[in-house]
Amino acid sequence: MSVTIENLANSILEQAKDKQRFFVAIAGPPAAGKTTTCSELENRLAHQTSVAVVAMDGFHYDNSILNDLNRFHRKGAPDTFDVTGLQLLLQGLKKQTDPIAAPVFDREQDLSRSSARMIHPEDHIILVEGNYLLCDTVPWKSLHVLFDSTVLMKEPISLLEERLIQRWLDHDHTQEQAEQRAHSNDLPNAKYVIEHSVKATYELSS
């Protein structure tokens, strides 16, 4: 079902009202607007209830591990994340009685900072944000049972390409470097998400 951000917030609040804790997955290809949407949704929901965010990016494998695996050049691909670690965190949050710290990815330093965001037992709605959360492939599909509701961000591949190239231009890459980075890694990841994501409760465009 295609919705606006306002309708999405209202629907989630309605679904969550009789539950002690409610998990929402916000998935979609890179540059589809997940982080912005998650932030806006968090702000809207926070007027009515307590909200916390868990980001898939916090579970990037460290660069040293990626180098050992010869996968640093594909950092951000489906197999470069600690999916088991993410799954264990979400399972722990299902039965949480004490504060639990979650990792956060630091883009400036290009690494994950452990225990960087605190999630409290009283947080009612947990927004889980990341590219591959709704993918039907192993090991990602093992996460699906943990979500009470799901959102898939959808944008044309041409717009994603434009945004992904601009990301690298904003990081002081030349046009040629930006296009190479986007086409060698980011766009294949985007196509993977588009091809493998299951149907979501809601669809949203940024």
Instruction: Locate 72 and state its tokens.
Output: 């640093």
Q: What are the residue ranges spanned by the domains of the chain?
A: 5-156+198-204
Integer CA distances (angstroms), 17 to 8, 40, 44, 116, 164, in order: 14, 20, 15, 28, 37
Per the listing, tokens 């691909």 go with 77
What pLDDT, in 10s, does the model give residues 40-66? 999 999 999 999 999 999 999 999 999
Name the CA dihedral angle for 143, 146, 118, 61, rounded to a multiple of 10 degrees.
0
pLDDT digits (tens, 9 = 90+) for 132-188: 999 999 999 999 999 999 999 999 999 999 999 999 999 899 999 999 999 999 999
Q: How confident is the model at residue 2 (pLDDT cuts 50, 70, 90)?
A: confident
Q: Which of 80, 42, 87, 46 is nearest to 60 (CA)?
A: 80
Kindly report whether the peptide bond that precedes residue 139 is cis, defined as omega within 30 degrees of 0.
Answer: yes
Provide the pLDDT confidence category of residue 108 given band limits of 50, 70 and 90.
Answer: confident
Please state the rounded mean pLDDT for residues 95-123: 95
Residue 156: other Cβ atoms inside 10 A: 9
- List, for residues 127-147, the tens digit of each pLDDT value: 999 999 999 999 999 999 999
Contact present, 27 and 38 (Cβ < 8 Å): no
pLDDT in tens, 188-204: 999 999 999 999 999 99
In terms of CATH, what superfamily is 5-156+198-204? P-loop containing nucleotide triphosphate hydrolases (3.40.50.300)
In this structure, how many other beta carbons lie within 10 angstroms of the beta carbon of residue 169? 16
